[in-house]
Chains A and B, each alone.
Chain A
């Protein structure tokens, strides 16, 4: 048992931490958010330059073959800075799925540009009536000559409006809800059959509703057998989100603790009040429990699928709940200030609550955990 980082992981952490520290102050973040893409184009280029965007890809795809712990380390820092750049969408989800499923030619054509930060990928997997279930796919793909035509609708696609290419899940067989019969397609969103309705999300990111009306798609991987790769990719996404939540919880706790020590009322710092002290302790306990689960999830990415999925769902469920708890308490203890747009804490709170809405909330993952078979 060893909870320490190796030298390379420590360097990675330091690189990401420095980036966030120097380029992601609260005011800087505001400026990044105001850019046309909704994130810092310069920062994104810097992430690529520093090699961060290559971290999770296998060496054969031009990456550094980073695993769960590398994702943990990076995204924890991203969470501390509330970064807006499309790392999760393009590198972890889109790039991750393409790297797992794609033929050599597809990976060679797209992944170098993804790693260079020049092409943004988005993973369009969820559907309006599917809630958080990635297998609830009504979008259909049908053969048309040499290619495929896709029809359907995809909901709340992270960075779906800024993506150069979409990875779209569609059904080539099986019934809605089945694992079998799911295929993945590379889709050019600029073609006539694709409707992209982009919008900002409450946590400051970009997303889109995407409609497909006979849109051309290029099959990625084997027909009808993408479920396992999709699950593995979403698992990596959950690790990233869990880690971001821990980073955001750290900051929310630090800001709140600082506030309790400085804000004076009735002639004393409000942190003298035992009720507030105990709440702050409860926040800290929630943070430590969340950190533990983020570590467990990160260290389980390479485990066999059954054990991995159980642990990922456990982690996402616990972090959804604890993140919301920390967010609500942080706002409450900041009093009126916590309600304002100008206070940093409110943005951490929004991100924490919204993380529960990305890739499955605590209800979804708790129920999933309860249904997944226990390891012997």
Chain B
């Protein structure tokens, strides 16, 4: 047993670090570290820098322009990116729809879409959730009815993350309502410029516009945009979810957040002493750091177990539950660290062009909004309760 990284893995880490030092634009990492908003262009610049290095398509096989990295390399890459203040790779194109196209798509679909994902021509968003179907994806109601060479799609999708930036959406649609819920679903690619597609913002409790509703009214989608077989979309959906689960523990992001928390607690004064010297706060900090150490080891155990091939199974549900709880605990402490300065609502201070004096310390403005924003972690991607159902069934046999 040896919990240290091999020499090759350490060399790889150094290579990633070197790249990040030169390849990650400083204005972007400043925004990430300061908790300020990123623009569409910021994301695209970062994707372009990764693509130029050949490191954008972390999960793809090399023949399609991917890295071909194993789980340990992906883990190291995630960790270093988070430590450097890199934005998360927007997953919908690169990490979600692309693996599905590679696995189930036609040659024509691969030739057309994959290069456009890599070079940023297409920005994808996800059309899985519906107002009546949260974690219960099999109950999607959006209908697609065949009409000659087209499907006519009607319905509504919701929680469409960054859909306001997207020109393409991949959707689960019902193509047969007469069979069992999982059997009549198809996986459809829809150009959002098609008439009948409407995107409406949903403003979340932190005051931000991150998610959207997407309305589909008599949208005519070419039959060529079907991935896999008609009514077999559930296979694609499940396959995509296994990709959504990799890196699910968020250890790199949690470590970065914990470092930020410590730096805030060192700078924050309470009655003449630094907050980090307050025994109660110190203790809370220690508890969450210890939990994170345990999660990191648990994550490494799972990563090492799948290193030989395959994707993690239900263990990733354990990582999701614990990972999200810990990240939420850290944002909770960040908010509490600034005390009364969690109160001011400084929406405009999150804008990169903001030049006024902020109320309170300059790191305070994003902390309460981020705390509220991160409540989503235990809800999306299959709520933590759903994850527990999975563990109960798949691991415990209950």
Listed in ascending order, the chain A residues whose CB lies under 8 Å from chain B are 1-6, 9, 69, 257, 260-261, 271-272, 274, 277-278, 280-282, 284-285, 288-293, 295-296, 298-299, 311, 314, 317-318, 366-367, 369-370
B contact residues, range: 35 or more
Which of B293, B297, B304, B396 contacts A281 (CB under 8 A)?
B396
Question: Does B396 lie within 8 Å of A284, measured CB to CB?
Answer: yes
Q: Is the CB of B398 within 8 A of A277?
A: yes
At the interface, is chain A mostly helix, strand, loop or mixed? helix
> How far in angstroms is the closest Cβ of chain B from A362?
9
Q: Would A69 and B1 be within 8 Å (CB), given that A278-B392, A280-B392 are in contact?
A: yes
Flag if B290 contacts A369 (CB, 8 Å).
yes
User: Do B286 and A367 touch across chains, with their CB atoms under 8 A apart?
Assistant: yes
| Pairwise interchain contact A292-B389, C-beta atoms closer than 8 A | no
Which of B4-12, B20-28, B53-61, B364-372 is found at the contact surface with chain A? B4-12
Whether A278 contacts B388 by the Cβ 8 Å rule is: yes
Measured CB to CB, the closest approach of chain A to B71, in angstroms, equals 10
Q: Chain A residues near B291: list those with CB within 8 A.
A: 289, 318
B398 in contact with A295 (CB, 8 Å): no
Q: List the A residue with the shortest CB-CB distance to B5.
A: A1
With A and B bound together, what is the CA distance between A364 and B391 in angstroms? 33
Would you call B114 an interface residue if the criterion is a C-beta within 8 Å of the partner chain's C-beta atoms?
no
Write 12 A-B pairs (CB below 8 A) sorted by A numbering.
A257-B398, A280-B392, A281-B388, A284-B318, A289-B294, A293-B293, A296-B293, A314-B293, A317-B290, A318-B294, A369-B286, A369-B289
Contact A299 B290 (CB under 8 A): no
- Asked whether, in the complex, the Cβ of B295 is within 8 Å of the Cβ of A370, the reply is no
Q: Is B125 an interface residue (CB 8 A)?
A: no
Question: Chain A residue with minimal CB distance to B281?
Answer: A370
Which residue of B has the minimal Cβ distance to A73? Answer: B1
Q: In the complex, what's the smallest C-beta–C-beta distance from A153 to chain B, in angstroms?
A: 29
Q: Which residue of B lies closest to A300 (CB)?
A: B3
A280 x B294 contact (CB < 8 A) = no
- Decide: A261 near B397, CB < 8 A? Known: A278-B385, A299-B2, A299-B3: yes
Docked-complex contact B3 and A295, CB < 8 angstroms: yes
CA distance A295 to B1 in the complex (A): 9
- Closest chain-A Cβ to B146's Cβ sits at a distance in Å of 40
Contacts of A277 in B (CB 8 A): 388-389, 392, 396, 398
Contacts A274-B389, A367-B283 known; list 16 others, CB within 8 Å: A1-B4, A1-B9, A1-B300, A2-B2, A3-B300, A3-B304, A261-B398, A277-B396, A278-B392, A281-B321, A281-B388, A292-B298, A311-B293, A314-B290, A317-B287, A366-B286
Given contacts A285-B321, A296-B3, contact A280 B304 (CB under 8 A): no
Q: Which 10 A-B pairs have the closest CB atoms?
A: A292-B297, A370-B286, A277-B392, A289-B294, A292-B298, A281-B388, A299-B3, A314-B290, A281-B391, A370-B282
How far apart are A123's CB and chain B's nearest CB, in angstroms?
A: 26
CA of A296 to CA of B292 in the docked complex: distance in angstroms? 12
- The distance in angstroms between the C-alpha atoms of A2 and B6, with both chains bound, is 9
Contact present for B290 and A318 (CB under 8 Å): yes
Give the one of B2, B282, B294, B301 with max A CB within 10 A. Answer: B294
Q: Check: B395 CB closer than 8 A to any chain A CB.
A: yes
Contact pick for B297, options A9, A280, A284, A296, CB 8 Å: A296
Cβ of B260 to closest chain A Cβ, rounded Å: 15
Could you tell me if A299 and B1 are in contact, using CB atoms closer than 8 angstroms? yes
CA distance A272 to B397 in the complex (A): 11
A370 touches B3 (CB 8 A): no
Check A280/B1 contact, CB under 8 A, given A1-B300, A274-B389, A367-B283: no
Per the bound structure, the CA–CA distance linking A196 and B305 in Å amounts to 50
The distance from the CB of B398 to the nearest CB of chain A, in whole angstroms, is 5
CA distance A159 to B291 in the complex (A): 33
A9 and chain B: residue at smallest CB distance: B1
B12 CB to nearest chain A CB (Å): 12
Given contacts A277-B396, A280-B398, contact A295 B283 (CB under 8 A): no
B335: interface (CB < 8 Å): no
Contact with A along B292-322 (1 / 0, CB 8 A): 0111111011011100000000000010011
Tell me the bound Cα distance from A271 to B322 in angstroms: 22
Residue B72 interfacial (CB < 8 Å):
yes
In the complex, what residue of chain B is closest to A289 when comparing beta carbons?
B294
The answer on a CB contact under 8 Å between A1 and B3 is: yes
Query: Complex Cα distance A370/B286, Å?
Result: 5
| CA of A311 to CA of B385, assembled, Å | 31
B257 within 8 A of A: no
B396 surroundings in chain A (CB, below 8 A): 257, 277, 280-281, 284
Q: Please give, as numbers and ranges, the residues of chain A lying within 8 Å of B295 by CB-CB distance.
A: 289, 292
Interface presence of B285 (CB below 8 A): yes
* Residues of chain B with a CB closer than 8 A to A318's CB: 290-291, 293-294
B residues within 8 A CB of A298? Answer: 1
Distance in angstroms between the alpha carbons of A262 and B182 in the assembled complex: 31
Given contacts A9-B1, A277-B388, contact A284 B290 (CB under 8 A): no
Query: Do A5 and B286 have beta carbons less than 8 Å apart?
Result: no
Query: Chain A's nearest CB lies how many Å from the CB of B14?
Result: 16
The answer to whether A292 touches B294, judged by C-beta atoms less than 8 angstroms apart, is yes
Expressed in whole angstroms, the Cα–Cα distance for A118 and B396 within the complex equals 44
Determine which of A6, A257, A272, A366 lies in contact with B290 in the assembled complex, contact meaning CB atoms within 8 Å: A366
- Residue-by-residue, is B126-148 near A (CB-CB < 8 Å gives 1, otherwise 0)? 00000000000000000000000
> Please, which residue of chain B has its CB at the minimum distance from the CB of A311?
B293
Contacts of A271 in B (CB 8 A): 398
Q: Which residues of B contact A296 (CB under 8 A)?
A: 3, 293-294, 297
B297 with A366: CB separation less than 8 A: no
